[in-house]
Amino acid sequence: MTGEIGLFALILAFAVALFQGTVPLVGAARNDAALMAVSDVSSVVLCALVTVAIVMLGHGYVTSDFSLLNVWQNSHTLKPLLYKVSGVWGNHEGSLVLWVLILAIYGAALAVFGRQVPPALRARALAIQGLIAAGFLAFSLFTSNPFARIVPIPAEGMGLNPILQDPGLAFHPPCLYMGYVGLSVAFSFGIAGLLGKEVDATWARLARPWVLLAWCFLTAGIALGSWWAYYELGWGGWWFWDPVENASFIPWLIATALLHSLRVAEKRDTLKAWTLLLCITGFSLSLLGTFLVRSGAITSVHTFASDPARGIFILAFLAVVTGGAFALFAVRAPRIRAEGLFEPVSREGALLLNNVFFGAAAATVLLGTLYPIFMEVAGSPPVSVGPPYYNSVFLPLAMPALVLAALGPAIPWRRADLPGVLHRMRFAAACALGVVVLTAFLHRDPGPLALAGYGLAAFLAAGTLRNWLTRLRPGLDLARVLRRARGLPASAHGMALAHLGVAVMVVGVTASSTGRVDLEQVMHPGDTLSLAGRTIEFLGVENIEGPNYTALQGRFLVTGPGAHTSMLWPERRAYLASGTATTEAAILETFAGDIYVVLGDPVADGGWGTRLTFNPLIWWIWGGAFLGVLGGAVSIAERARPRRARLRSPAAQPA
């Protein structure tokens, strides 16, 4: 019965989404307050209905209701409860319901917390959200029904893909979807602004917190996915330029450019057409990523489906949404006038140039992702585009973007003196030069990548700290410094944290890419080797049993400085339901880096293939991502500060 309740909730949600996508648009065109108010109520109702649907699907997973085809294909009675719950979105049909739920949550949040948005703009934006939800609900109902029944009812399920049975994958997809789908709010604001001709500084100020929220979730989702790939897939890396990795990274690049562009539009009332273009492009690329994951056009551990019919549906929906949006932009954008003028050497100019680098980087990654598909359609032999291409085209675009990230806050708005800007950055330049010299001194042959990476990280970090401290004007009076810190806009603190996070991440990327040490060999019980100043002894292998798998578990004794010892237990698992084998790496985290151990196949003489890796400073990558997300969260808090200030002011007190 729960399956029928969930299906009925999805059908009602589809009807509500169609209603939400049409009536408020008519009300905004007629300036009818009653019809526009419908958007708020319908958004909340839509969210409630989709919540009922996903709860019913989750009930089927938790109770192992194998009469539901989706549950039978992706669950098992022996599966731990956490993975039964995460199995809801660990497949195509369930993940699509989660997609629509997050879209509905954003719509309901805009309806409830977006009261400061003008009624016409809010009604149009929520109507666009409703139309997008209707499209995905139609996709779910007509091609990917999550509540389809199976007769006769099987006694046992097929189980979830073993590599998805991991805590990282339980939280990574929802977090990533919060970022993916969150860009729909920017898209809806952009289309609503074009329809109502309301694109100005106020529009940018109202749209920016929603883009920040989506950017934070997208950053966290990508970082979680990278962390999961590092410790779960057993290859010791954190990024492989996989097509589906790229499908999340490309919208992140555009969202980052959009954040900076919205800042210019808000402060200087310029770059408005460019900002609208980024609003449309960001969500369009999210839809493109959805197509790649679900169409079977690419093969990856991340893909959900390989049904061409589903791919055609999404491709048609993508064409309608993006084609209509770009057509509207082509008609309305020429009428949008930029009020603020600026010189090339100015903060606006620096942010615009940075946007160009972000856009070019997104284009090169997109080309590398789609090129194999284009070649296959053209009838050419299969080709693959790997890390050498991306490293050669992406890094030259990322490096100047890092330089501009440090320079931008030091450049005044509208017009600046280039020698004066360079003079203000002399401390950062000196720090970068010192780090380059120190790197060359500590390493015999560091290579140009190491020198450039550490130097750019030092330049960005020193420049960010210098600009931040300049605004605080630190002195001996700590209380005065704290008052100045509270007086600064939250976005100033958030920007500093985010830029510092990027610098920290660059250090981690550089160290793990240029200083990594790999040792592959056959080891017998009692064999030892040295790695990163530690002695590692192989003690042997034993059989263990997990809740729904059996495993061969290796035992490695690691002896570090001061005779400190640690044990590592890498595993080779075989899951009972599917017989699928997976590799579980063992990781010893140290201040200098990670000792990463993988147990391979047995050999005839009683030895075992082993791979030991030292990844220096690799945790700085995810630490930098955390700082970036924290900076975004601090910037979002800026919206509440003016309201509190008004409440504290004498003029706000009743007579």
Residue 655 has a pLDDT of 31
Residue 619 has a pLDDT of 95
d(CA 240, CA 237): 7
| Number of C-beta neighbours around residue 566 at 10 A | 16
Residue 302 has a pLDDT of 52
Task: Tell me if 304 is assigned to some domain.
Answer: yes
Phi, psi of 57 (to 5 degrees): -65, -40
Of 653 and 39, more confident: 39
Residue 193 has a pLDDT of 93
d(CA 630, CA 495): 10
Our measurement of the distance from residue 51's CA atom to the centroid of its chain's CA atoms, rounded to an integer in Å, reads 23
Whether residues 398 and 283 fall in one domain: yes
Residue 336 has pLDDT above 50, yes or no: yes
Residues 271, 261 contacting (CB under 8 angstroms): yes
The token pair at 131 is 């139309």
Radius of gyration of the chain (CA): 27
Instruction: Write the pLDDT tens digit of every residue in 106-147.
Output: 999 999 998 899 999 999 999 999 999 999 999 999 988 999
Range of the domain at 546: 517-619
The amino acid at 510: T
Percent of the chain past pLDDT 70, that is, above it, reads 94
Poorest-confidence range of 15-29, 74-88, 293-307, 441-455? 293-307
pTM across the whole model: 0.92
Whether residues 399 and 414 fall in one domain: no
Give the DSSP letter of residue 333: G
Whether residues 611 and 633 fall in one domain: no
The angle at the Cα of 143, spanning 141 to 147, to the nearest 5 degrees, equals 50
Mean pLDDT of all residues in 48-61: 96
- The closest alpha carbon to 508, from 619, 387, 396, 594, belongs to 619
Mean pLDDT of all residues in 405-426: 88
Alpha carbons within 13 angstroms on the beta-carbon side of residue 261 total 28
Residues 77, 155 contacting (CB under 8 angstroms): no
Whether residues 415 and 382 fall in one domain: no
Task: Tell me if 651 is assigned to some domain.
Answer: no
Q: Is the previous residue joined to 152 through a cis bond, with omega within 30 degrees of 0?
A: yes
| Number of C-beta neighbours around residue 152 at 10 A | 6
Task: Tell me if 654 is assigned to some domain.
Answer: no
**Residue 372: CB partners within 8 Å, gap ≥ 6?**
298, 382, 383, 384, 385
- The closest alpha carbon to 241, from 185, 298, 193, 294, belongs to 298
**Residue 424: CB partners within 8 Å, gap ≥ 6?**
410, 466
- The closest alpha carbon to 333, from 201, 187, 194, 200, belongs to 194
Percent of the chain past pLDDT 90, that is, above it, reads 63
d(CA 461, CA 434): 13
pLDDT band at 300 (very low <50, low <70, confident <90, very high): low
| Number of C-beta neighbours around residue 21 at 10 A | 21
Residue 618 has a pLDDT of 95
Residue at token pair 């509270």? 486
d(CA 440, CA 446): 6
Whether residues 495 and 564 fall in one domain: no
**Count of all residues that appear for the chain in the document:** 655
Task: Tell me if 35 is assigned to some domain.
Answer: yes
Whether residues 309 and 385 fall in one domain: yes
Instruction: Write the pLDDT tens digit of every residue in 350-397.
Output: 999 999 999 999 999 999 999 988 888 888 887 888 889 999 999 999
Whether residues 206 and 220 fall in one domain: yes
The amino acid at 324: G
Whether residues 609 and 629 fall in one domain: no
Residue 301 has pLDDT above 90, yes or no: no
List residues bridging with 519 in a β-sheet. 612
Whether residues 506 and 537 fall in one domain: no
Instruction: Write the pLDDT tens digit of every residue in 480-519.
Output: 777 877 878 888 899 999 999 999 999 999 999 999 999 9
pLDDT band at 236 (very low <50, low <70, confident <90, very high): confident
Whether residues 575 and 437 fall in one domain: no
Q: Which helix (H) or strand (E) holds 575?
A: strand 571-575
pLDDT band at 71 (very low <50, low <70, confident <90, very high): very high
Distances (CA, A) of 18 to 129, 135, 208, 223: 10, 9, 27, 35
Residues 159, 577 contacting (CB under 8 angstroms): yes
Instruction: Write the pLDDT tens digit of every residue in 579-612.
Output: 788 889 999 998 899 999 999 999 988 899 999 9
Mean pLDDT of all residues in 258-268: 92
The torsion of the CA quartet 231, 236, 241, 247, rounded to 10 degrees, works out to 0
Most confident of 78-82, 151-155, 459-463: 459-463
Residue 645 has a pLDDT of 38
Task: Tell me if 303 is assigned to some domain.
Answer: yes
Residue 508 has a pLDDT of 96
Residue 298 has a pLDDT of 64
Residue 162 has pLDDT above 90, yes or no: no
Domain end point (choices 409, 439, 461): 409
Mean pLDDT of all residues in 314-329: 93
Task: Tell me if 440 is assigned to some domain.
Answer: yes
Burial status of residue 537 (CB atoms within 10 A of its CB: 0-12, 13-18, 19 or more): middle
Phi, psi of 576 (to 5 degrees): -70, -40
Distances (CA, A) of 621 to 207, 213, 398, 553: 29, 21, 16, 29
pLDDT band at 649 (very low <50, low <70, confident <90, very high): very low
Residue at token pair 């060359």? 440
d(CA 302, CA 81): 22
Whether residues 376 and 449 fall in one domain: no
Residue at token pair 């791979």? 611
Residue 637 has a pLDDT of 80
Our measurement of the distance from residue 283's CA atom to the centroid of its chain's CA atoms, rounded to an integer in Å, reads 13
Residue 164 has pLDDT above 80, yes or no: no
Residue 79 has a pLDDT of 84
Residues 534, 558 contacting (CB under 8 angstroms): yes
The token pair at 374 is 């284009």
Domain count, the chain: 4
pLDDT band at 268 (very low <50, low <70, confident <90, very high): confident
Burial status of residue 138 (CB atoms within 10 A of its CB: 0-12, 13-18, 19 or more): middle
The average confidence (pLDDT) of the chain is 89
Q: Is the previous residue joined to 602 through a cis bond, with omega within 30 degrees of 0?
A: no
Whether residues 394 and 440 fall in one domain: no
Residue 308 has pLDDT above 70, yes or no: no
Task: Tell me if 326 is assigned to some domain.
Answer: yes
pLDDT band at 651 (very low <50, low <70, confident <90, very high): very low
pLDDT band at 214 (very low <50, low <70, confident <90, very high): very high
Residues 36, 48 contacting (CB under 8 angstroms): no
d(CA 176, CA 282): 14
The amino acid at 29: A
Residue 647 has a pLDDT of 35
Mean pLDDT of all residues in 210-239: 91
Alpha carbons within 13 angstroms on the beta-carbon side of residue 635 total 27
Domain end point (choices 409, 433, 449): 409
Task: Tell me if 648 is assigned to some domain.
Answer: no
Residue 648 has a pLDDT of 37
